[in-house]
């Protein structure tokens, strides 16, 4: 069976840090610790800390959390979201219900966004299980001007970044 590649997470920086030198952190699969939680959740910790285990991606200004979570058939799992943070999930295998009030299951290739609840994301895996990426971070509440891999706050700043590139 061939491997399926990977994912990139680009973190938008606050305005005062946008012109700093870029930093890239390439993490190989073998460098990502896995935590098995009671109840059946298996979590690969990329960025953040779960059950005392920290991921290899560190020192990110926006304080994100980036987890690869696998749940077996019909497993239920809840994960807290820091107060004031937004969260998102991206289903990469199987399906599950990500909100107890949600009527439909989210399937492979779908994304869900959770507001600043400061609460939890509740998941119930389908009968086939679910694997998803979990992301959370503090919203910047700044305007966005975007072009390719560069994200700035204004078109002028974006042009300056391209000129310097």
Averaged pLDDT score across all residues of the chain: 87
Output the pLDDT for position 1.
Answer: 39
User: Which tens digits make up the pLDDT trace of 49-95?
Assistant: 999 999 999 888 778 899 999 999 999 999 999 888 999 999 999 99
Output the pLDDT for position 118.
Answer: 61
Calculate mean pLDDT across residues 12-19: 82
Domain boundaries, the chain: 30-139
User: Which tens digits make up the pLDDT trace of 36-53?
Assistant: 999 999 999 999 999 999
Indicate if the pLDDT at residue 159 is higher than 80: yes
Indicate if the pLDDT at residue 153 is higher than 70: yes
Give the separation between CA 31 and CA 41, rounded to whole angstroms. 19
Question: To the nearest whole percent, how much of the chain has pLDDT over 90?
Answer: 47
**CB-neighbour burial class of residue 156 (10 A; exposed 0-12, middle 13-18, buried 19+):** exposed
Tally the C-alpha atoms within 13 A of residue 90's C-alpha that lie toward its C-beta. Answer: 11
Tokens 């979590």 locate to: 43
Alpha carbon of 110 to those of 42, 84, 123, 132: distances in Å?
20, 24, 14, 10
Confidence category of residue 2, pLDDT binned at 50, 70, 90:
very low
CATH value of 30-139 in 3.40.50.10540, 2.60.40.10, 2.60.120.10, 2.10.109.10: 2.60.120.10
The pTM is what?
0.86
Calculate mean pLDDT across residues 148-160: 86
Indicate if the pLDDT at residue 126 is higher than 50: yes
């Amino acid at each position: 069976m061939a491997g399926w590649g990977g994912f990139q997470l680009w973190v938008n920086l606050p305005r005062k840090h946008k012109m700093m030198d870029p930093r890239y952190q390439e993490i190989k699969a073998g460098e990502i610790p896995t935590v098995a939680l009671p109840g059946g959740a298996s979590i690969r910790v990329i960025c953040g800390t779960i059950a005392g285990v920290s991921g290899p991606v560190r020192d990110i200004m926006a304080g994100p959390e980036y987890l690869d979570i696998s749940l077996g058939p019909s497993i239920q799992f809840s994960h807290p979201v820091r107060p004031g943070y937004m969260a998102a999930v991206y289903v990469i295998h199987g399906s599950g219900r990500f909100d107890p009030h949600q009527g439909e299951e989210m399937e492979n290739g779908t994304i869900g966004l959770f507001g600043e609840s400061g609460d939890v994301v509740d998941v119930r895996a389908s009968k086939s299980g679910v694997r998803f990426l979990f992301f959370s971070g503090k919203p910047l509440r700044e305007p966005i001007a975007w072009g390719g891999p560069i994200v700035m706050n204004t078109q002028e700043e974006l042009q300056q970044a391209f000129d310097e590139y």
